[in-house]
Structure 1
Amino acid sequence: MWNSRYLDRNFFCTLKQYLSDPFLLFYGLSWILIRYCRQTGQPIPVLNNWLTDFVFVPLIAYIAFCIGNLLLTLYSAPHYYPLYQILVLAFFVSIVFEYIMPQYTNYNVSDPIDTLCYFAGGCFYYFCHQNYLKSKFS
């Protein structure tokens, strides 16, 4: 019979495994680097424009993967996303950040290349990161 100590240990071991993902570290460190360079007034030209958009969809998909698996399938096989769900996520992110938000904020600007970066990031997550996760958790 499970007790709270077993559940806590399993939960924290799983959480540690999710947080030590090298792709998550890449997403987080690249976002921090870009934000830091923007704040100091020294943006990195190509990376400043599109890297944050590229890693945004994979970051959201991975966080959803972790939360969903922690809450729903802690003791069974992980759930993976089909390509169409990731592309739908990229589509909604594109609508929100490239169409709706530029109408209400000065920070967001509409850029069609950003939309391509959202979809490219989604494809990267599906073909690279998710395959890594499948090999890691199988």
Structure 2
Amino acid sequence: MNNPFIWFYALSWIIIRYTRNQGTIIPYLNNWLTDFVFVPLIAHVAYVVGYFLIQLPADYKIPLGQLLVMAGLTTVIFEVLCPIYTTYNTADPIDALCYFLGAIWYYAIHQPYMLFRNQKLSLDSI
């Protein structure tokens, strides 16, 4: 698991959850960092599962449209439906923006990094 982005996503989530449980609020990060990293984390997990289960090629790139649909569904679930049915969720349009920015981040930054790394690894094995 030599992927710095996954480490960043996971550690961000763990740190924010821990600080929330301790009652320590980190401004901005507490509110939106977990929302920003959610879609990239889920997209990467989907890619890895697809790679192992259906043998997606190492150079497979999740289309931007699929990532935006993922962000849209995340918005509907967590910012529209959950606030209706739970008392601990609140609708926040900035959260929705963070989901979409995370999708664009994954498409523009994370995926190109993975493709470059996978290409470099395959060239190193020659």
| Same fold, judged at TM 0.5 (above) | yes
Q: Which secondary structure state, in structure 2, belongs to the residue aligned with residue 100 of structure 1?
A: helix
Letter in 1 for 2:19: C
1:58–1:125 contact (8 Å) kept in structure 2: yes
Letter in 2 for 1:42: T
Is 1:115 the counterpart of 2:77 in the alignment?
Answer: no
Is 1:44 the counterpart of 2:7 in the alignment?
Answer: no
Match of 1:88 in 2: 69
Matched pairs, number: 119
Q: Under a length normalisation based on structure 1, what TM-score does the superposition of the two structures give? A: 0.83
Q: Which runs of 5 or more residues in structure 1 are unaligned?
A: 1-18
Q: CA RMSD in A?
A: 1.1
Letter in 2 for 1:53: D
Q: Under a length normalisation based on structure 2, what TM-score does the superposition of the two structures give? A: 0.90
1:69–1:78 contact (8 Å) kept in structure 2: no
Report the structure number with the largest CA radius of gyration: 1
* Runs of 4+ off more than 4 Å: none
Shift of 1:78: 4.0
Q: Which runs of 5 or more residues in structure 2 are unaligned?
A: 120-126
1:58–1:124 contact (8 Å) kept in structure 2: yes
